[in-house]
Every structure is written in structure tokens, then in C-alpha cells.
Amino acid sequence: MTSGEPNVTSASDGKTAEGNGALDGEVLLDVQDLKKYFPVHGGVLGRSVAQVRAVDGVSFRLRRGETLGLVGESGCGKSTTGRTILRLIEPTGGRVLFEGQDLEGFDRAQFIAFRRSAQIVFQDPYGSLNPRMTVGSMLAEILKVHGLAETRVDRLARVRELLEMVGLHAEHAGRYPHEFSGGQRQRIGIARALAVEPKFIVLDEPVSALDVSVQAQVINLLRDLQNELGLTYLFIAHDLAVVEYMSDRVAVMYLGKIVEMAAAQELYRNPLHPYTSALLSAAPRRDPKTAPNRQRIRLSGDVPSPIRPPAGCPFYARCPHPGKDEECQRALPVLEEKEPGHLAACCKHSMAVGGA
Ligand SMILES: Nc1ncnc2c1ncn2[C@@H]1O[C@H](COP(=O)(O)OP(=O)(O)OP(=O)(O)O)[C@@H](O)[C@H]1O
Ligand SMILES: [Mg+2]
């Protein structure tokens, strides 16, 4: 992948006075205290005996044309956050406002419109592509269902256009999913999302399953499409270098909560939460100028159970900060603005951990 600046607006000027680090511009998505608790069933009767707090009070705003990267270890709640926002999963609590309107109050027509406006691209599109349908028929069907192309001729033209938009060819319309490579299948997954002319797309690890050389192509395609179509992305990923390249801002999740959020360059240059420092120290450096030579921080201990999260800081048991104390163990740190546009949930943020 080539280096470059985030596309829509420069990450470094993405600071506003309102304190959530969002870029200036119209708020497209406003997520407020979102919660998703999954029941855990047990016993012979299979009753709900506990709850997994997969998403536990997540709040952020996304402006039109912006990309928010969402990172964190496996199981911290990234996919559940994305799917709950899209209402593929019902939330346990909180509010989601899309274009200023609360999803909760949507009537059927508004909800159908939201379903069109907000799409998802999965890590492995193969699982969700019908193996017995050609790519052209699959896309044409979507257009038909949503009333987006009146006649068969219109649909064929739009299918061709969609395939070309994602770097495939019109002739690919007659092929079946198994006839494509992994990268091509992901392009089909993107074409499927674009077919309904969305405004917002959750990209859930869209390149994690692809070869590194193919990853760069798909990432660049996603960025080009964002520029051309004014799309807004929630970009979920493991690879911190890819997230930095793609995102205007980045949110770091730990045990169902956002523990740090800032403009991408600011977060990478100046992490304030010890967990972010640890994640960055373990990641390969993309650009030595913006990523200082970090001493590797090895985290010991396990992530606490999302069924019984600790009362105080969820990161306490693994925190390598030399200044951690009883206060950390007692009180849950609030995600608050520590520096302009830079939020962190750590009361020891000002002391560097394993820095340059
Ligand atoms: N349908 C479900 N029922 C019960 N628990 C679930 C369900 N889906 C997710 N979970 C749990 O919720 C937590 C968050 O899962 P999620 O898939 O959102 O994490 P993630 O950050 O996307 O992980 P990964 O990086 O592995 O994709 C995990 O503890 C997971 O086991
Ligand atoms: Mg996931």
C-alpha cells in the first residue's frame, strides 16, 4: 500500500469545539450510549442465566463523508456495534439518530429507506452470496426489489455500471461467485452494497481475509468510491496501519466500550490510553515520521469476562501503567476530552507509558 493522507478532510484539522473530535460538517450518524447485551443460556431449561455485555455504552458521531476507524482485540464488540447501528441486531439500550432522526420512531417506510441508506460489507462476502445465482442476476434482483431500475434494460445497464465502479467488467455479470478470486468477491460485496445507493457503509474487516497485495487494491477502491460518492464509513479492522490510512478519526474499543477516540494522526502520535499505547506498540510502523519508535508493551493477564465486567477500569488487571492505583480499581473511568478533540477513558492519561 502506498502512504498518503486520509482522503476527505485532513485528519489533523478534524477538531471541533463540541468535544467529540468530529470533523466539521453535517452529522449523518449520532450514536448515543448504545448497548447490546446478549443473553447467556444455561441449565437444563436453557433459561437466560447471565448477559454478555458486547456493547456497553458506545457513543460517537459521524459526519457526512467521514471515516471512523474502529479497532480493538477480538471479541471487544466491534461487529456488534456495527450491526446494532444498522438494526441487524436489536439494541438493548441507547439511541441511534440517522440524519437527525431517531431510528426508534421510524415507521415502516422510513425504516425501509434507512435500510437502503445504511449498508454493510462483510469480511467474507462469499458466505452471503448465493452460489447458484450469477452476479448479474443477484445485483439485478436487488435493483428490482428496491425499485431502482424500471425495465430489464435499465437493470442491465446499472449492473454493468456497478461492476465497472468496483473495477470488474461487464462480462463478469454472467459468472457465479465461485468463479471469482477473494479480492474480486469482495468487489462484488462492495457492488452489492452500492447497488442501493447508500450514504453510510459499515465496513466490517473488509480486507482482513485477503492477501496483502489485494488488500491495498480494495482499500484504495473504497477510498476512491468514498470520494466519488460522498460516502460515510465505519471502518472496522484489526490492522492498525490500514486503519490509520483509511480513517479521519479512530475509536479504540475495549470490553464493549470506547476507551479512546481522536483524529487518526493524533491518536497514533499521541496515544493517551495505556491500552492504545500497547496496541500501537505491537503494530508494525507504517511511517516512521508519524509513528515514533515504540517500545513493545506486553500485556499480561486476560481480558475480563464481558459477562461480569469489573467495577472499576476494565483495563486495570492488564494495565502496564506504573501509576495505576486503587482509584482505577474502584471507579469506572469516563470517556472525556483530555485534549481538544481527543477523548480518553483513563485518569492517568498524562503519564506516558512505554513512549518513544
Ligand atoms: N449472537 C451472539 N450471542 C451471544 N454472544 C455474542 C453474539 N455475538 C457476539 N457475541 C459476543 O459479544 C462479544 C463481542 O463480539 P463481536 O463479534 O462484536 O466482537 P468483535 O470485536 O467484532 O470481534 P472480532 O474482532 O473477533 O470480529 C463477544 O464476547 C462475543 O462472544
Ligand atoms: Mg467482528
Task: Give the predicted TM-score (pTM) of the model.
Answer: 0.90
Q: Which residues contact 14 (CB under 8 A, 6 or more apart)?
A: 21, 22, 23, 24, 248, 249, 263, 341
Is it the case that residue 354 has pLDDT exceeding 50? Answer: no
Choice from 37, 49, 51, 52 to test ligand 1 binding pocket (greatest atom count within 8 A of CB): 52
Q: What is the pLDDT of residues 198-247, one digit of tens each?
A: 999 999 999 999 999 999 999 999 999 999 999 999 999 988 889 999 99
Check pocket membership of 83 for ligand 1, CB cut-off 6 A. no
- Antiparallel, parallel or unpaired: β 232-236 and 67-71: parallel
257 Cα: distance to centroid of ligand 1 (angstroms): 13
Q: What is the pLDDT of residues 1-60, one digit of tens each?
A: 333 333 333 333 333 334 444 556 799 999 999 999 999 988 888 888 889 999 999 999
Is it the case that residue 173 has pLDDT exceeding 70? Answer: yes
* Chain-centre distance for alpha carbon 290: 23
* Domain residue spans of the chain: 25-58+65-247, 257-356
pLDDT average, residue stretch 82-96: 98
pLDDT computed for residue 49 by the predictor: 83
CATH architecture of 25-58+65-247: 3-Layer(aba) Sandwich (3.40)
Check pocket membership of 76 for ligand 1, CB cut-off 6 A. yes
Q: Which residues contact 295 (CB under 8 A, 6 or more apart)?
A: 281, 354, 355
* Grid coordinates belonging to 17: 469545539
Instruction: Give the chain's mean pLDDT.
Output: 88
